[in-house]
Every structure is written in C-alpha cells, then in structure tokens.
Amino acid sequence: MLYDAVILAGSTSGERDELLEYTRTDRKALIRIQGKEMVRYVVEALLGSERIGRLVVVGLDPDSAPDLGGDAPVAYVPNQGTLLKNIIAGVQELGPVRRAIFCSSDIPLLSAEAVRDFIDRCEASDVDLGYAVVERSVMEGRFPGSGRSFRPLKNGHYAGGDLAWINPDVIMRNLDYIESFIGSRKSALRTARAMGLGLIVRFLLRRLTIEYAERKARDLFRCSCKAIISPFPEIGMDVDKVHQYRLVCSVMGSSPA
C-alpha cells in the first residue's frame, strides 16, 4: 500500500538561527551537502522506499524548490510561518486520507530502507499515531557526539526521530495539545508536564516506561498511539545545529560550507 507524505520544509519567522547564518541559507531544507539540498536527500529516501504515492512539500514553492526528481506527484504549499500552521496546511492539502507520513526536511542521511522499516512497523501496529524513536546506544554507536537530546526512561534513553505516521483527523481534533507539545518539545520536563502529574512523577523517579507514555498519549489524543523504536539511527540524525551539520558532512564525505 502507498501513503502520502508531508515534508515540513518551512521556516519559523522571527527566530535567529546560527545554522542558517553559518550556511548562508534562508531555510534548512535548502542547505547543500555535496552539492545537493537536504530536502532532495529526504525525497529520494521516501520515493526509494516504494511506499510513497504522493508528496506534499510545505514551505517551498515550485519556483524556489530544487528539482525533486522522481515520478510521484508533488504539491507545494507556501510557508505558513509556524510549525503548527505548516502542519495544518499539510493536512489540508492531503485531503481525506486514513494515514500519512510526516517527515522533516533536515535528515539527509535518511535511507529508503529506514523508511520501509518504519512503515512496516506502523502497519503491523495499526495505530492512529506512530512516532519514531531511537535508543541512545544505537544513535551514539553510529553517530558519536550527535548532540541529540535523550529522554531517560526506565527501559532506556531515547531520542525522538523525524518520521511520524499519523491519521490526519487526530491532528485536527487535537490542535491545542499539539501546540503545547510543539512549544515544549525541546524540554523533557515541559513535555512531561503537558502529559500530567502521573507522568511527571514517573519521569523524575526514572520509572517512566514507553508503555505508560503510550497510554497517556492515547488518553490525551483519544487515539491509538505507539512509539516506533527504530534500528536506523539516521531517522533521528537531523541537522539542527552547526556541529550536526559538520558531523553529517563528515559522514557523507563532504566539506562544510
């Protein structure tokens, strides 16, 4: 079965970004590595998985976007100025679909195999919301010094990935919660606070498990939820900071800008 994919390639206005200043680029999706924009690597991985039927690129327009190649139809949606508004615009462009893949544009090491594996695991779980996570030893084993933030849970330390499997209806009926999570996503404690006292206590005592977090997410979002533990660390190796850009360039055998 084929799924539509939403690639979030916009920018957030009003925020200073050292990586954009360092690379002299106006948005991360267009940062070049080995002469190719990061968003093109992401598109190649998605289409190479042979599980994607249509692409929705939020934040670029046909005139400014690089040639994304491939035979899949591509819809472009202008940047809306905030992450939440870009997500909503992507959902609206999708139309009535039961499941879709949401992906950031700054994971140039993403592979077709990783995408296939993620979709296979989501299909096997048959949930409304599947979110990729990567265990610390897997991430650091492949990318030492990645600079990712890992959440200490009872059954391991995990970083969030940049792929999600979503029933779009879940987004539209939970906009307030999603906005809260977007605002707290870089703080483990603020994320825990958004999910309630029980989760906070378990988090502070290092007794929080993935299964408990899944149940809390299910209750909050009123849908079936699952953390998809990926064996592919490239799903979580986003290029968000200058040192991560340099690391990815090194892995790809390229010199930083």
Matching residue, tokens 């879940």: 170
The structural domains of the chain, with segments of one domain joined by +, span 3-251
Tokens of 103: 């992906």
Give 206's contacts (C-beta < 8 A, 6+ positions apart).
152, 153, 154
CATH T-level fold of 3-251? Spore Coat Polysaccharide Biosynthesis Protein SpsA; Chain A (3.90.550)
Tokens of 16: 């200073």
d(Cα 109, Cα 38) in Å, to the nearest integer? 9
Q: List the pLDDT tens digit at each of the 257 positions of the chain.
A: 999 999 999 876 566 789 999 999 988 999 999 999 999 999 999 999 999 999 999 999 888 788 887 677 899 999 998 888 999 999 999 989 999 999 999 999 999 999 999 999 999 999 999 999 999 999 999 999 898 989 888 889 999 999 999 999 999 998 887 777 666 555 555 555 556 656 665 565 567 788 988 988 888 888 999 999 999 999 999 999 999 999 999 999 877 76
pLDDT of the residue at 199: 61
| Residues 245-254: contacts with CB under 8 Å, at least 24 apart | 245/19, 245/22, 245/23, 245/31, 247/143, 247/145, 247/146, 247/147, 248/33, 248/108, 248/109, 249/33, 251/109, 251/143, 252/33, 252/34, 252/108, 252/109, 253/34, 254/33, 254/34
pLDDT of the residue at 48: 95
Per-residue pLDDT tens over the stretch 212-251: 889 888 888 889 999 999 999 999 999 999 999 999 999 9
Matching residue, tokens 């809260």: 180
Give pTM, 2 decimals.
Answer: 0.88
Per-residue pLDDT tens over the stretch 168-189: 999 999 888 777 766 655 555 5
